[in-house]
Structure 1
Amino acid sequence: MLDHPPVPPQSEPAGETPSRGWRRARKPLIGLLICLLLLCAAALTGILWLQAKVEGNIQRLPDTFTGLTDRPSKPTSGPAADAMNILVLGTDARSDIPTTGAEAPGWKPGQARSDTMLLVHLDGDRRSASVISIPRDSWVDIPGHGKGKVNWAYSFGGPSLTVETVEKMTDVRIDHLTVIDWDGFKALTDAVGGVDIDIPKTVYDSARGVRWEAGRHHLDGEQALLYVRQRYGLQDGDLDRVARQQAFLRTLLKQTLHQELRKNPDQVLDLLSLFSKHASVDDEWSTTQMAKLAASLRNLRTDDISYLTVPTDGTGMVGDQSVVRLDPSRDLDLWRAVREDRMAEWTDDNQDLLTPDVVR
């Protein structure tokens, strides 16, 4: 029997996609589509999580920046354009209910002063940061109220006047503001399991009847509040108190962020959720912006954060007020370094102003 010659394949009509070619391309295209859908689902899940855990809980401070005029300009080019300055306030509100955070009713005139004031500068490359304390008794110009202690601004005009006062004092533009009260401070400390603090020499706080023995102490929220608020019995009073606050914050960050954020991305969401329950923020700071900021800090190590107090010229009296006098000869250089995003260089040249690891 003769073999029939093979039938040559028929060619596809010109201009049409070959069916077998489509079948070959279909699988990777479907795989790509599935990947895109999964990525969209993951992003949507993250957004929904933020909305449920953070956005719905966090308290916004209305009109924080509204109406402020003659503000310092924000750099639009160079490294300083990407830097961020966050003003952090701790209030001394005496209240049976929270005054900051998800359940707080909001700021009320005369209700509280800013017991703690920190200007947190995040470098444009997000690889270093500076925490600059402004003593609460600093004698400054408060717009519309004349000279006074810087912590009076919060009592007189709330978050907005406090931002205006600090901007006038430093010529540094504040990007965002966050406020936390004593209850929030205690809750955050307890939530991370407490903080270990070294006290080099036994001291007695006569105002609260607390004796701090030399050595290491594991502080819960209540004890931590007593520690960071002490000034009586300390050699430099309010300035030593500021140093304690910085030492506490440094230890807190070292204990809670011992693994960099890039090693544990879920930690970002956990920290945001905890933060939202107890702190209040300006109404222009969206949850998405906070999440992006936290993610941008994934390469920031705790050893790359410097702590210092704005240079001062000691304490004194104005009438019956005990005040802290700022040192303009050194302050101007510090705030210029913040504006120009040169804090890493400035700290190298001003090691004597940095807060030591162990304080009184």
Structure 2
Amino acid sequence: MVGLRLLTDRYDRTVARELLLDPTARQERTDLSGPLNYLLIGSDRRPDSNSPETRADTILIVHLPAGLGRAYLISVPRDLLVAIPAAPGHPGGNDKINAAYQHGGGGEGGARLLSTTLSRLTGLRFDGAALIDFAGIQRVVDILGGVRLCPETEVRSIHTGHVFPAGCQQLTGAQALDLVRQRYDLPNGDYDRQRHQQQLLRAMLDRAAATDLRGNPARFDQVLRAVGSSLTVDTNGVPLDDLVFTLRDLRSDALLGVQVPSHPQTIDEVSYVLLDQGGGGLFEAVRENRVEPWVRSNQRWVNPL
């Protein structure tokens, strides 16, 4: 544990820090005993791309109830129609939620606009946020020796043409990212993509446990360095090593995937996702720290991981 503490302390000094949360979306004070709510943003920016059209490809709310024995991965549909507040260069208005990151200019500004958009929608304030691009995830998966993913149906990549058969298979970092980015031609479209992304996070934790990452300081150091080049965090003033140690015993089988109650709809020939009435009570349940009973009553929106 001493070696792990030294590594995380070193990482704490080198990881990029920015104010990813808008003040209106930030929890006033974070108590690591929980409950905790974190915003995870996956950017579709790639190292070889200078495109200004970067959007948030993945938006996850991670909810940890008091006691921190469980983590709910709540996927926010990227095409969810929301009211995006005004920002420099953006007059505000209705758009897909993943466009908030772009309208905010990407990076810190994009994350802040996305956080306030999501906070207004859900009534939540966040204890922290993280922004990561594809390159970091790919490197971590490769350092871990790949991951095992099990798509329920055949998936054909629109990016590479590769066909992933149904069933469990061992994938490299590039293959895993290719799979979890797909949504076209899947039976449930973006909802299937959300589930695959949640399953990737579970698979990465499974692989980390199988390789005894915590007991292998050298391997852990490799993972930290790989993530560090692609990760930006906002811990709301909490030292990163304290956060890592608080969550170190969270098991992969304690993760549960949740989808936001919603439905697709075409408006003026544009495909959107619309929130069900009141979000099906999900956001209220998160605010009131009673997600577990909500899950028991809403199995339709729960993903087995």
TM tier, smaller? 0.7 to 0.9
What secondary structure is seen at the aligned counterpart in 2 of 1:215?
coil
Opposite residue 149 of structure 1, the aligned amino acid is K
Q: Is the 8 A contact 2:27 2:126 kept in 1?
A: no
Within 5 A, what are the aligned runs for 1:189-208? 189-206=141-158, 208=160
1:259 and 1:191 mapped to 2: Cα distance?
10
Structure 2 equivalent of residue 114 of structure 1: 56
Superposed, 1:133-144 pairs within 5 Å as 133-144=75-86
Preserved CA contact (<8 Å) 2:20 2:130: no
CA contact (8 A) 1:268 1:295 kept: no
Q: Which runs of 5+ in 2 are unaligned?
A: 87-91, 105-109
Q: Deviations over 1:253-306 (max 9, x none)?
A: 222135899x849599646554323311127455xx222122222442222221
Q: How far does residue 75 in structure 1 lie from its aligned partner after superposition?
A: 8.8
Q: 2:265 aligns with which of 316, 334, 338?
A: 316
Offset at 1:159?
1.2
Q: Distance in 1 between matches of 2:216 and 2:149?
A: 28
Q: Which residue of 8, 20, 23 corresponds with 1:64?
A: 20
Q: 2:201 aligned with 1:249, yes or no?
A: yes
1:72 CA displacement: 7.6
Evaluate the alpha carbon distance shift between residue 277 and residue 121 of structure 1 in structure 2; reply closer, same or farther with a 3 A threshold: same
Q: Do the aligned residues in 1 keep the contact of 2:159 with 2:178 (CA within 8 Å)? A: no
Aligned-partner residue type, residue 244 of structure 2: A
Give the direction of change, closer, same or farther, for the CA distance of 1:268–1:89 in structure 2 (3 Å limit). farther
| Aligned equivalent of 1:147 | 94
Deviation at 1:202, TM superposition (A): 2.8
What does 1:285-324 align with in structure 2 at a 5 Å threshold? 285=237, 289-312=239-262, 314-324=263-273
Letter in 2 for 1:217: Q
Q: Name the residue aligned to 2:170.
A: 218
Q: Using the alignment, how far apart are the partners of 1:129 and 1:206 within structure 2?
A: 32
Distance 1:74 1:195 in 2: 37
Aligned pair in 2 of structure 1 residues 219, 167: CA closer, same or farther (>3 Å)?
A: same
Q: What residue identity is the alignment partner of 1:59?
A: A
Q: RMSD in angstroms over aligned alpha carbons?
A: 3.1
Q: Once the 2 structures are TM-superposed, how far is the Cα of residue 207 of structure 1 from its aligned partner?
A: 5.4
On the 8 A contact 1:72/1:171 being kept in 2, the answer is no
Q: Aligned partners of 1:352, 1:199: CA distance in 2, in Å?
A: 18
Q: Is the contact between residue 21 and residue 129 of structure 2 (CA under 8 Å) also seen in structure 1?
A: no
| Mapped partners of 2:43, 2:26: distance in 1 | 25
Give identity over the alignment, percent. Answer: 32
In 2, Cα distance between equivalents of 1:280 and 1:232: 30
Cα distance between partner residues in 2 of 1:227 and 1:132: 19
Give 3-state SS (helix, strand or coil) of 1:257's partner: helix
CA shift, 1:135, in A, is 1.1
SS of equivalent to 1:187: helix
Q: Which amino acid aligns with 1:115?
A: D
Structure 1 CA distance for aligned equivalents of residues 11 and 246 of structure 2 = 20
**In 2, distance between residues paired with 1:267 and 1:315?**
46
1:8-33 Cα deviation digits (max 9, x unpaired): xxxxxxxxxxxxxxxxxxxxxxxxxx
Bigger Cα Rg: 1
Match of 1:334 among 275, 278, 282: 282
With normalisation by structure 2, the TM-score equals 0.83
1:341 aligned partner, one-letter code: N
Q: Which AA in structure 1 matches 2:283?
A: W
Q: AA paired with 1:147?
A: N
Residues 75 and 81, structure 1, Cα contact 8 Å, conserved in 2: no
- Number of equivalenced pairs: 293
Q: 1:188 to 1:265 in 2, by over 3 A?
A: closer
Q: Distance in 1 between matches of 2:201 and 2:187?
A: 21
- The one-letter code sitting in structure 2 at the alignment partner of 1:60 is R
Structure 1 Cα separation of the partners of residues 250 and 118 of structure 2: 26
- Equivalent AA in structure 2 for residue 159 of structure 1: A
Q: Is the contact between residue 127 and residue 236 of structure 2 (CA under 8 Å) also seen in structure 1?
A: no
Give the counterpart letter for 1:87 in structure 2.
Answer: L
Superposed counterparts of 1:243-282, under 5 Å: 243-258=195-210, 264=215, 270=221, 272-282=224-234
Mapped partners of 2:158, 2:53: distance in 1: 26
